[in-house]
Amino acid sequence: MYPFLRRSLAACALLASLALPAAAQQFPNRTITVIVPFAAGGPTDTVARLTAEAMGRDLGQTVVVENAGGAGGTIGSQRVAQARPDGYTLLLHHIGMATAPTLYRRLAYDPVGGFETIGLITEVPMTLVAKKDFPATTLQEAVAVIRRQREALNYANAGIGAASHLCGLLLMKAVDTQMTTVPFRGTGPAMQELLSGRIDLMCDQTTNTTEQINSGAIRVFAVTTPQRVEALPNVPTSTEAGLPDFQVTVWHGLYAPKGTPAEITQRLSRALQVALRDPRLVQRFAELGTAPVAQAQATPEAHRQFWLADIAKWRPIIQAAGQYAD
Ligand code: MLT
């Protein structure tokens, strides 16, 4: 190879190796986009907008939320897995990151190896809710109606692998029956159909149901947590209401594409930890029935450890059910 060309290539390689730390040192110097893999107005979107706003204050940059719904969250997840690993395109997703690796067997991206973890955010309780004129006022009465009407009832979820789908699986297993499942691009749109009465039942996170419950716009039968939810003091737990196996909470985390430099994921994790201490975020989370995770969980290492353990927990459950998305 000509000496001049060899020297030029060596110079380019040196410049490229120096460029990365410089990019990390200057990070962030433009708007960051957080992809939410569900429709606007739902619980994941709500957590994302509160977190993005608080992180932006620490980063000194605008952090925008973009919704990319569909296929139980895998469409938005794929978008981030295939994005440039520069810290400017992130994914905020929930327990679906632990179920997709088993539920979806033909994904066009690696649902585990395609991401760097940044930190956990919050773990949200779920509520079994119904349209306002549903013919039951307690969980036991609702179970009797579900067993009697079965597929005549419409149950909404946000696609296979969504938290509302998993909660529905647990409910139908605990009640030993089936309902007609109606998938949406998120439980934001599904809530509109519940409010209109076109959907009968849904299991959704308190971040999407608390205000509708407290206003009397929808019915609630239980929360899916061992203890009652402070924002919903009069709502019994599933155990109190007679369905102790009907328990699930929805953890949320922040991700970057695989290959994003550690200096950048660590900077983002520091901003996330600051955001989770922000009084405005803490207050709003509490009003919506949830709370930030402990600071030690908002780190890349703790998040990855929790995530991999939850993948291992859900794999045999999904395989035993034998229900896959593809
Ligand atoms: C879910 O069911 O996974 C979420 O509620 C979806 C959403 O945030 O819309």
Is residue 135 helix, strand or coil?
coil
What is the token pair recorded at 189?
């749109």
What is the token pair recorded at 209?
């149901």
C-alpha pair distances (Å), 233 with each of 80, 174, 237: 38, 24, 10
Residues 133 and 214 in one domain: yes
pLDDT at site 317: 86
pLDDT at site 47: 98
- Closest ligand 1 atom to 41 CA: 9
Residues 99 and 83 in one domain: yes
What whole-number distance in Å separates Cα of residue 90 and Cα of residue 83? 9
Atom 8 of ligand 1, residue of closest alpha carbon: 44
Strands (E), 83-218: 89-94, 115-130, 154-157, 180-183, 201-205
Does residue 245 lie within any of the structural domains?
A: no
Does residue 286 lie within any of the structural domains?
A: yes
Residues 108 and 254 in one domain: yes
pLDDT at site 254: 98
Residues 265 and 118 in one domain: yes
pLDDT < 50 stretches in the chain: none
CB of 187 sitting under 6 A from ligand 1: yes
Domain residue limits at 47: 30-124+250-321
Question: What CATH number is given to the structural domain containing 88?
Answer: 3.40.190.150
What whole-number distance in Å separates Cα of residue 265 and Cα of residue 239? 40
What whole-number distance in Å separates Cα of residue 219 and Cα of residue 211? 12
pLDDT at site 11: 72
pLDDT at site 19: 58
What whole-number distance in Å separates Cα of residue 326 and Cα of residue 323? 9
CB of 206 sitting under 6 A from ligand 1: no
What whole-number distance in Å separates Cα of residue 181 and Cα of residue 16? 52
Question: What CATH number is given to the structural domain containing 206?
Answer: 3.40.190.10
pLDDT at site 16: 58
Does residue 7 lie within any of the structural domains?
A: no
Does residue 132 lie within any of the structural domains?
A: yes
pLDDT at site 20: 55
